[in-house]
């Protein structure tokens, strides 16, 4: 049965004229239409001027509230008042269901009958139906004629139906529905709202918005409306955070309204609604349309994409921060800036496996993101504050890029071909053909960047009169580390909107368990692909680089005996200086250093050297056993320090490595080094190593073998920073 309201609006007002009570069913510009609640009174119209006059002299009373099924006025906190906010068809159906459930419960309480089994309950419903029609007559007063014909019915049923026939009966409920309604009402202490479909949803006529929630929405909306491209969904995320903070402070646990409810609240603030709703539906739609159905990937690492994107938010560069983007010659330009992010994404799962940041769209940033994809990222995720792990490294079968300037360099292609084997450029070099990657950048712009002030928009024309530089408040470290946190704990754990879609992290683990993945490259392969190539002297003590002596290789000894001391090329992986690759003739050979340095990064090793310099500033040299003991002492470095070291190592270029190594002021002496002076005094008596004792005199000059040491840098030491991505020397 389809119900229609008798009037356009049923208002929440009651007019009490002496002993008679009228219900306001419609409000016009000049008069009110009143329906009598008493059976002996007639309906009437009341002029607004008469209402105001009689209200002032006290002969007429206006009460705000809703009516109970018996005709009396419900209190302001009554559940029937909430029911009165629903549409008429919902009100009628709820009252009918309530009356049947109450009658069933009353009969069972008095006589113990009927049984709740299907057949006895159906027989009882048929017997009680005529009496219930009479009892529900007041409810039928709000049901008008139905002027629509039924569709898809046979001719016999259609001939029995008369158009515009007055509805004087209400269909009896089924046994199952009545039994369920009775159970729900008794469980909710006879709360009529449990009979309203979707009553828990505030947009479906359910719970009222608490004043505290309404106040939070207004406060957040006024501030959020000043941001670039505000949306109701973005405002809802802000409100969710504010409500969570109220809960943490013990100010109450309030449910989060849906976006439609927030939109209704915002419309009470015209200036906010005008800003947030200024874009029409065409502009709100996705600009990049789909270009047919692309290939489907079902294995982790089967296909990955890389691209660079200039983040649409201004950030402040901090010299001593972690993500150090500027070199010494441009550090005086301290002003708001936009940084680039290089991102590597798995096509089968949508997981982000590598990130790097830079001031420009550079090859160094692309190489850093690619190198991160092949390393253990757990410490980096913990440093950014993530709770879940950043997955584990896997190998790739195919890498696809857009062919931009960062992907045209020799270093990128050689690294990609040597580790992956198949590197290709997107067909047509069009962004629409890389929909997954471009949509992910859009997700970052819509889901992550709105958390910060200083958004810029896609271009200056779109930005309009909004000045992002004035609104800039976050430093580069916060923007970069926040993106890592958003990626690991939000993007990887958020279910896409597509039907039957899985969270990226869960899909990654499921596909890995089902189909496996290509193993990640070995240390030697990574060093050959991403290692920094420099020249060093090969002598009978081995090869010295960054205060490390590399000598553990029979091939190196045989080559030295055959060809003698000479200058050779080596490759150093800043993430693992325990081994290097040496070019002997036409072949690269792995040469190991002290076993204690296996897996130690260059930045971490430099920190050890800085600590030794601080402890023994006056000494010229330390022997290796003392250094080994110091390393064991310093190995308690926190996870934060390890993560910072890994991020710094990802950004080390050849010029930066030469500068860092050349800044070392303390020389470590190994037993096989001809410079090891066996007769110098030792603090430890030789048990744990020998340390040159300060004598107040200038230490003797080193032997001629010193020429094989790393050249001293003439530049000042670079301040401690994490992301040193760009240098004009590269």
Q: What is the 3-state secondary structure (H, E, C) of 40-78?
A: CCCCEEEEHHHHHHHHHHCCCEEEECEECCCCCEECCCC
Calculate mean pLDDT across residues 427-436.
57
Calculate mean pLDDT across residues 399-423.
84
Calculate mean pLDDT across residues 585-591.
91
By CB atoms closer than 10 A (0-12, 13-18, 19+), residue 397 is middle
Whether 452 has a pLDDT exceeding 90, the answer reads no
- The pLDDT of residue 364 is 86
pLDDT tens digits along 669-712: 776 555 554 433 333 333 223 333 333 333 333 333 333 344 44
Euclidean distance between CA atoms 204 and 197, whole angstroms = 8
Whether 35 has a pLDDT exceeding 80, the answer reads no
What is the average pLDDT value for the chain, to the nearest integer? Answer: 72
Calculate mean pLDDT across residues 467-487.
80
Angle in degrees, CA 436, 485, 288, rounded to 5: 20
Euclidean distance between CA atoms 12 and 83, whole angstroms = 11
> Could you tell me if 339 and 325 are in contact, meaning their C-beta atoms sit under 8 angstroms apart?
yes
Facing residues of 533 across strands?
571
> Could you tell me if 261 and 202 are in contact, meaning their C-beta atoms sit under 8 angstroms apart?
yes
Q: What is the pTM of this model?
A: 0.52
Calculate mean pLDDT across residues 171-195.
85
DSSP string, 659-727: HHHHT---EEE-TTSTT--TTS--TTTTSS--BPPP-SSPPPPP-GGGGGSPPPPSSPPPPP-S-----
> Could you tell me if 123 and 93 are in contact, meaning their C-beta atoms sit under 8 angstroms apart?
no
- The pLDDT of residue 553 is 84
Whether 535 has a pLDDT exceeding 90, the answer reads yes
Considering only residues 84 and 388, tell me which one the structure prediction assigns the higher pLDDT.
388
* Phi, psi dihedrals of residue 446, rounded to the nearest 5°: -90, -30
Band (pLDDT 50/70/90 cuts) for residue 146 is very low
* Number of neighbours of residue 633 by Cβ within 10 angstroms: 10
Closest CA to 447 of 489, 478, 475, 402: 489
Closest CA to 338 of 480, 443, 490, 463: 480
- What do you get for the CA distance between the two ends of the chain, in Å? 78
Whether 614 has a pLDDT exceeding 90, the answer reads no
Euclidean distance between CA atoms 235 and 224, whole angstroms = 7
Looking at 48-57, 166-175, 469-478, 592-601, which range is the least confident one? Answer: 166-175
Whether 91 has a pLDDT exceeding 60, the answer reads yes
pLDDT tens digits along 197-223: 765 555 444 556 777 888 888 888 877
Calculate mean pLDDT across residues 344-371.
90
Closest CA to 220 of 277, 269, 255, 261: 269
Euclidean distance between CA atoms 317 and 327, whole angstroms = 11
Closest CA to 629 of 552, 574, 684, 693: 684
Interior/surface letters 674-707, b for 16+ CB within 10 angstroms, e for the rest: ebebeebeeeeeeeebbbbeeeeeeeeeeeebee
Calculate mean pLDDT across residues 533-547.
89
Asked whether the CA dihedral 297, 301, 305, 311 is positive or negative, the reply is positive
- The pLDDT of residue 354 is 93
Phi-psi map region of 198: left, alpha, beta (phi>0 left; psi -120 to 50 alpha): left
- The pLDDT of residue 66 is 56
Euclidean distance between CA atoms 583 and 572, whole angstroms = 12
Euclidean distance between CA atoms 695 and 691, whole angstroms = 12
- The pLDDT of residue 678 is 43
Q: Which residues contact 556 (CB under 8 A, 6 or more apart)?
A: 538, 542, 543, 550, 582, 584, 589, 591
According to the per-residue pLDDT averaged within each range, which of 23-37, 105-119, 135-149, 623-637 is highest? 105-119
Whether 457 has a pLDDT exceeding 70, the answer reads no
Euclidean distance between CA atoms 184 and 195, whole angstroms = 8
Residues across the chain: 730
Euclidean distance between CA atoms 646 and 413, whole angstroms = 23
% of the chain surpassing 90 pLDDT: 13
By CB atoms closer than 10 A (0-12, 13-18, 19+), residue 522 is exposed
Euclidean distance between CA atoms 195 and 92, whole angstroms = 11
> Could you tell me if 694 and 619 are in contact, meaning their C-beta atoms sit under 8 angstroms apart?
yes
Q: Which residues contact 600 (CB under 8 A, 6 or more apart)?
A: 576, 577, 578, 631
- Residues 171, 172, 173, 178, Cα dihedral to 10°: 150
Considering only residues 429 and 306, tell me which one the structure prediction assigns the higher pLDDT.
306
Closest CA to 711 of 673, 661, 667, 669: 661
Looking at 345-349, 445-449, 543-547, which range is the least confident one? Answer: 445-449
């Amino acid at each position: 049965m389809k119900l229609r309201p008798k009037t356009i609006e049923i208002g929440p007002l009651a007019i009490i004229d002496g002993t008679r009570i009228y219900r306001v069913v419609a409000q016009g510009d000049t008069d009110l239409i009143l329906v009598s609640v008493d059976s002996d009174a007639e309906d009437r119209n009341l002029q607004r001027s008469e209402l105001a006059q009689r209200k002032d002299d006290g002969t007429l009373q206006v009460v705000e509230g809703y009516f109970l099924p018996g005709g009396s006025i419900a209190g302001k906190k009554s559940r029937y008042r909430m029911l009165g906010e629903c549409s008429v068809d919902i009100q009628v159906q709820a009252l009918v269901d309530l009356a049947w459930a109450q009658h069933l419960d009353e009969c069972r309480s008095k006589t113990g009958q009927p049984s709740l089994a299907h057949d006895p309950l159906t027989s009882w419903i048929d017997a009680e139906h005529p009496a219930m029609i009479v009892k529900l007559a007041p409810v039928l007063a709000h049901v008008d004629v139905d002027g629509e014909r039924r569709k898809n019915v046979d001719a016999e049923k259609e001939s029995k139906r008369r158009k515009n026939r007055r509805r004087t009966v209400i269909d009896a409920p089924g046994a199952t529905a009545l039994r369920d309604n009775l159970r729900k009402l008794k469980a909710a202490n006879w709360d009529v709202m449990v009979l309203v479909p979707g009553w828990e949803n505030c947009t479906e006529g359910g719970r009222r918005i608490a004043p505290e929630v309404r106040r939070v929405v207004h406060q957040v909306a006024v501030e959020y409306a000043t941001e670039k491209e505000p949306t109701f969904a973005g405002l809802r995320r802000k409100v969710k955070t504010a409500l969570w903070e109220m809960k943490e402070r013990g100010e109450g646990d309030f449910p989060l309204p849906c976006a439609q409810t927030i939109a209704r609240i915002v419309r009470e603030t015209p200036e906010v609604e005008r800003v947030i709703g200024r874009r029409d539906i065409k502009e709100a739609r996705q600009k990049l349309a789909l270009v047919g159905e692309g290939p489907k990937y079902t294995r982790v690492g089967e296909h990955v994409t890389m691209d660079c994107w200039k983040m649409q938010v201004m950030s402040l560069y901090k010299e001593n921060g972690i993500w150090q983007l500027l070199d010494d010659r441009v550090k005086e330009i301290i002003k708001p800036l936009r940084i680039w992010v290089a991102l590597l994404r798995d096509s089968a799962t949508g997981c982000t496996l590598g990130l790097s940041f830079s001031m420009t769209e550079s090859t160094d940033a692309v190489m850093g993101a690619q190198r991160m994809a092949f390393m253990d990222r757990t410490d980096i995720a913990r440093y950014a504050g993530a709770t879940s792990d950043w997955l584990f490294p896997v190998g790739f079968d195919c890498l696809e890029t857009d062919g931009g300037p960062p992907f045209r360099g020799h270093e990128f292609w050689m690294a990609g071909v040597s580790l992956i084997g198949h590197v290709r450029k997107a067909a047509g070099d069009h962004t629409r053909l890389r929909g997954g990657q471009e949509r992910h950048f859009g997700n970052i712009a819509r889901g992550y960047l709105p958390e910060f002030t200083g958004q810029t928009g896609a271009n200056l024309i779109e930005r309009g009169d909004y000045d992002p530089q004035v609104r800039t408040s976050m430093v580069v470290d916060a923007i970069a580390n926040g993106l890592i946190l958003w990626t690991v704990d939000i993007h990887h754990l958020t279910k896409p909107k597509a039907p039957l879609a899985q969270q990226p992290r869960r899909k990654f683990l499921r596909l890995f368990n089902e189909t496996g993945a290509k193993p990640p490259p070995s240390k030697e392969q990574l060093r050959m692909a991403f290692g920094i190539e420099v020249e060093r002297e090969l002598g009978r003590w081995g090869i010295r680089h960054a205060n490390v002596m590399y000598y553990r290789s029979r091939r190196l000894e045989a080559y030295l005996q055959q060809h003698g001391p000479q200058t050779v090329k080596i490759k150093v992986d800043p993430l693992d200086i325990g081994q290097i690759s040496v070019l002997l003739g036409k072949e690269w050979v792995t040469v190991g250093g002290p076993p204690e340095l296996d897996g130690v990064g260059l930045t971490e090793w430099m920190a050890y050297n800085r600590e030794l310099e601080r402890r023994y500033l006056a000494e010229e040299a330390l022997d290796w056993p003392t250094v080994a003991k110091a390393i064991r002492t310093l190995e308690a470095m926190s996870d934060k320090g390890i993560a910072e070291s890994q991020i710094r190592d990802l950004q080390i270029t050849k010029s930066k490595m030469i500068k860092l190594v050349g800044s070392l002021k303390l020389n470590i002496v190994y037993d096989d080094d001809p410079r090891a002076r066996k007769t110098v005094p030792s603090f430890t008596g030789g048990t744990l190593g020998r340390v040159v004792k300060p004598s107040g005199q200038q230490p003797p000059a080193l032997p001629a073998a010193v020429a094989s040491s790393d050249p001293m840098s003439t530049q000042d030491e670079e301040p401690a920073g994490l992301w040193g991505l760009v240098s004009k020397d590269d």
